[in-house]
Structure 1
């Protein structure tokens, strides 16, 4: 499959229509916000998020693109929410939780609490365009509910509802040791092939960038026991 098609998905037709409307909106907040929480209280540590943030920061600097990193104790709810609307791309490297009974209570775990979808949707409704791409480097952000196969009840769909044109998400748990490599390859391609003459990234190239980054990971791990589980979880939603 990796040799024949670049895949992208949508939760439902209405979200695609809204994404198309937003596609012509100006990028009023160019740049990447990386929120890295390797040790959220009460959760298993994921040290790979630190490397992930450093790689994205370095790649952005080489392209003269603004990149703000909030990590550890600095990755608070207030700072995260306030800075999201000032960056066209948000990269969340942290633990996450889906609430299938009440999807709006699905959340990302930051240093001082849960960043719920309801909060993101409420805040982002006030932002006039500019929300280009959300990379959800967390486990099971697009897995949904087997009992509601036709319903979009996952975090990826929620982030589209929050105003992002495109989402990179995961279908199940991702491996901490490989996530930084996927992020590095993704942003290197996005910020070179998908950049505008003004060095601004184009989120509509995210599906292509993800395709090549997971293909490269699959090739590096070919023949190893962890190969399939390492690259298959990553998916793209939206434009």
Structure 2
């Protein structure tokens, strides 16, 4: 780590090699300890290493390397979990040995994911690494579980550009990624210190008490600043340089303090003022690899029927916290829209327990959660949804086997709030649901008003099912985009409630 730090100070020619080496050491260090200890290592020892590496590579014109190192460093925790969930259908189909290794890999991966015994962990990890070594001997598997190269990562942009919006202690910048095209750099004049002040200001206005008009004015000020300093230069490049048609899909991949700001809602908010949503349909992705995985879909036809099932979960009276009185109305509205089109199940009240919900996840491809969200900024994998008998944690959801997860709408507070310890990794409930297999997720960046969110929910599903269409996760971003425009015409809905929802994934 000190090599990278000193090389940056001295502008040494070994700078990029120093960051590459530091990230490789970090990855091996994290891989060598049980899962329960990894968050502490990443949070305490290497805060923001990946975003620093990106900024330095960006400054030296090594743009493809910047993407590779950012992806490597941002996914230290997620990648070790995803490696235990890697599909091996292609390997199984090669021959008997391939099938045997595939079975052994899955068995060891499950055991590694579940064990809490350090001695057993080290023993299993040695066996797991031996199996990986043997798998890499097969043709086409030489890079199995190795970090992808830029040529692989740019596939995330196959359906539209992905824009990395990076913040480090050195600088703030964006990089537009198209498939089969060299990435396009956009340096910002916004300083890291100014960005931190903007982020803190936004946190205060969304969390603190203030008269409605004052809150709106402060939010508009921040959204205008985001537009002029960050988003407008990106839109100008997309429109004037790349001629990207209006209403195209784009994906935002923010890091650091940018993860805490509503880039999707940036705009001038005046009569003739521009907004990002006037031009494009924005979604988010935690990483490029996460978006690529979400697009891979489900290959096992025996689970196709589960994808056509809808589960509505409502917990208006959880084990702790205030009662959510609008949840029953939200579920009734949902039932009226969705039940006529597909298999529809409701779990609510006393039936919405942690165990029942986890089991129901496995039997339904579409999930709607109306409940309290409980972010845990110090232990993000213990963030949870409040059920009748206790918290349903992100860790429990990740451990569950969800082979047919398709889409999740998280109608709960703070489901897309990044934690405080790992600024290089987007660890929150919405990202965890995507990691667990849901190809698309709608989450919330701050607190939602229980009495207002039902209007957003109704508008979203109405748009998704318009003209007799079936539910389709690939149209969710556009449906949310249109739903927000519909609700925005209702001036009784506060601005912060109109922009609280974000879409993640395909």
* CA-to-aligned-CA distance 1:53-96 (integer Å, 9 cap, x gap): 11111112333x11111111111112211111111111110001
Match of 2:488 in 1: 218
* 112-121 vs 148-157, greater mean Cα deviation: 148-157
Distance 1:161 1:207 in 2: 18
Distance 1:156 1:184 in 2: 20
Output aligned runs, 1:40-59, within 5 Å. Answer: 40-59=318-337
- State the 1:234 CA deviation: 0.4
Gaps of 5+ in 2: 1-274
Match of 1:62 in 2: 340
* 207-216 vs 100-109, greater mean Cα deviation: 100-109
Structure 1 residue 78 corresponds to structure 2 residue 355 = yes
- State the 1:116 CA deviation: 1.0
- State the 1:4 CA deviation: 2.2
Distance 1:42 1:78 in 2: 17
* 8-17 vs 22-31, greater mean Cα deviation: 22-31
- State the 1:185 CA deviation: 1.2
Output aligned runs, 1:165-176, within 5 Å. Answer: 165-176=439-450
Structure 1 residue 141 corresponds to structure 2 residue 415 = yes
8 Å contact 1:100–1:153 — kept in the other structure? no
Cα distance change of structure 1 residues 100 and 220 upon mapping to structure 2, 3 Å threshold: same
Match of 1:19 in 2: 294
* CA-to-aligned-CA distance 1:106-135 (integer Å, 9 cap, x gap): 1101111111111111112xx43x211010
Match of 1:188 in 2: 462
- State the 1:101 CA deviation: 2.7
Q: 1:31 aligns with which of 309, 313, 316?
A: 309
Gaps of 5+ in 1: none
Distance 2:424 2:325 in 1: 35
Structure 1 residue 115 corresponds to structure 2 residue 115 = no
8 Å contact 2:337–2:462 — kept in the other structure? yes
- State the 1:207 CA deviation: 0.5
* 23-32 vs 101-110, greater mean Cα deviation: 23-32
8 Å contact 1:23–1:165 — kept in the other structure? no
Q: Which protein has the bigger strand share?
A: 1
**TM-score of the aligned structures, taking structure 1 as reference length:** 0.88
**TM-score of the aligned structures, taking structure 2 as reference length:** 0.43
- Structure with greater contact order relative to length (CA < 8 Å, sep ≥ 6): 1
Cα distance change of structure 1 residues 138 and 204 upon mapping to structure 2, 3 Å threshold: same
RMSD: 1.9
Structure 1 residue 92 corresponds to structure 2 residue 359 = no
- State the 1:23 CA deviation: 5.8
Distance 2:468 2:284 in 1: 19
| Greater Cα radius of gyration, structure 1 or 2 | 2
Match of 1:208 in 2: 478
Structure 1 residue 235 corresponds to structure 2 residue 502 = yes
Distance 2:365 2:467 in 1: 17
Distance 1:193 1:23 in 2: 26
Cα distance change of structure 1 residues 145 and 77 upon mapping to structure 2, 3 Å threshold: closer
Distance 2:298 2:488 in 1: 31
